[in-house]
Amino acid sequence: MTQTSPKALATSLFQKAFASHPAVLASAPGRVNLIGEHMDYNGGPVLPFAIQRRTVVAASLGTAWHAVSAIDGTTQLVDPTGPAAGGWTDYLRGVIRALAHDGLAPRGAQVAVASTVPVGAGLASSAALTVALTRALVHLAGRRVPPERLADIAYRAEHDEVGVACGRMDQTVAALASPGLAMLLETATGEITGVPFPGHVIVVETGVAHELSRGALNQRRHECEEALRMLRERGVEATHLADIAQARLGEVERLLPPPWMSRARHVVTEASRTREAVHALQAHDLVRLGRLLQEGHRSLRDDYQSSCREADWLVDGAVRHGAYGARLTGAGWGGAVIVLANEAAESRIMALVGEEFNREFGRFPEMWKTSAGRGATVEH
Ligand code: GLA
């Protein structure tokens, strides 16, 4: 699908709304997570990469905060000291507040936002937005901060200010990703290792927007915290749920009632799958990687219960027609599936999957390819 570049869109939106040229353009990518789902608030490893779709922020200094997004085209006045408004500008409000906390916020700005990262598709559009906003506003304030700090500010904006119980994966990859590399992030320590990912995946959007996932994500996080607390009370030593070795799974299963048992089983097995996936990638073993994606999806479906019928259908179809593997990516309860397949077979697989999906759900899903792109950047 050809799309107008978000850079051109953000610039023209800015010019229309504020009758001047923006002083800065900054952008940040969405992401897919190859594997390591729901690990980042359980102290486990994640393996995301930045997609080539990006969110662009065009901005200039101002005396108050005015913002416009290509989604609705309406210019809004944002009061960072007032209550949250319940729309996209809450993310801007969150970024301004997180920046102000660090003494990095400009006095005000005019801001225009355009994006090719679909919203509600599990591709971390909110992290692309908060990281791009942070990058642009820090630049306007005339400050320089390392990308780790950008990620931290964006995380605090989303977690502390907007109130989403997310981990740090999305903001970290949006701020620090490098082209051609997947990012192994050990979320317990913050350690990052680049793992070459020269190929691409196909992203298939289920078309089920996951607005509800915020509540559901908060609930899962709470369940994981409870599971860890119960295990500790029963003598299991662990700082994080993902610390528990797979060899102790039987013990964990005996100590926890459902649903905590299955949530913990997902976390423990997913941590081990993610580390194995890194080895598979390093060995260029796409068959093994594909099998791990499959197992990961089953774990999300059955143990974490964060999938949906459309995603299960797409994963089954892709594998039945010959993909190495496929899985739901991101928070879940809708969103997108990633498919890993031999390049020669891709078109056939996707055509068949699309037709079957259409027969079942009465519409063709959006599908597109992406390789590993770069993290946040100032465009000029
Ligand atoms: C959302 C959150 C992330 C992570 C994923 C699940 O994208 O923002 O921090 O928890 O869900 O892996």
**Could you report the per-residue pLDDT of 12-33, keeping only the tens digit for each?**
999 999 999 999 999 999 999 9
- Of the candidates 170, 243, 302, 312, the residue annotated as catalytic is 170
| The ligand 1 atom nearest the CA atom of 38 | 12
CB 325 within 8 A of CB 199: no
Confidence of residue 3 (pLDDT cuts 50, 70, 90): low
Asked whether 331 lines ligand 1 (CB < 6 A), one says: yes
pTM above 0.85, yes or no: yes
Asked whether 151 lines ligand 1 (CB < 6 A), one says: no
Asked whether 120 lines ligand 1 (CB < 6 A), one says: no
Residues 133-138, mean pLDDT to the nearest whole number: 98
Residues 90-104, mean pLDDT to the nearest whole number: 98
Asked whether 166 lines ligand 1 (CB < 6 A), one says: yes
List alpha helices for the chain, DSSP H: 6-18, 89-101, 125-140, 147-156, 169-176, 213-233, 249-255, 260-282, 286-299, 309-320, 343-361
**Chain segment 185-243, per-residue pLDDT in tens:** 999 999 999 999 999 999 999 999 876 556 888 899 999 999 999 999 999 999 999 99
| The ligand 1 atom nearest the CA atom of 33 | 12
| Residue whose CA lies nearest to ligand 1 atom number 11 | 331
- Percent of the chain at pLDDT > 70 equals 98
What per-residue confidence (pLDDT) applies to 2?
47
Tokens describing residue 125: 């559009």
Asked whether 277 lines ligand 1 (CB < 6 A), one says: no
Mean residue pLDDT of the chain comes to 96
Inform me whether the pLDDT recorded for 1 exceeds 50.
no
Ligand 1 mutation target, pool 162, 170, 224, 329, most atoms within 8 A of CB = 170
Q: Is the dihedral of CA 234, 36, 279, 181 positive or negative?
A: negative
State the SS3 of 197-239: CCCCEEEEECCCCCCCHHHHHHHHHHHHHHHHHHHHHCCCCCC
| Residue whose CA lies nearest to ligand 1 atom number 5 | 331
Whether 79 is a known active-site residue: answer no
Asked whether 157 lines ligand 1 (CB < 6 A), one says: no
| The ligand 1 atom nearest the CA atom of 217 | 11
Inform me whether the pLDDT recorded for 360 exceeds 60.
yes
Measured CA to CA, the distance from residue 111 to residue 98 in angstroms comes to 17
What per-residue confidence (pLDDT) applies to 4?
75
- Residue 110's SS3 state is strand
Confidence of residue 288 (pLDDT cuts 50, 70, 90): very high
What per-residue confidence (pLDDT) applies to 110?
98
Q: How far is CA 128 from CA 62, 212, 345, in A?
A: 23, 19, 31
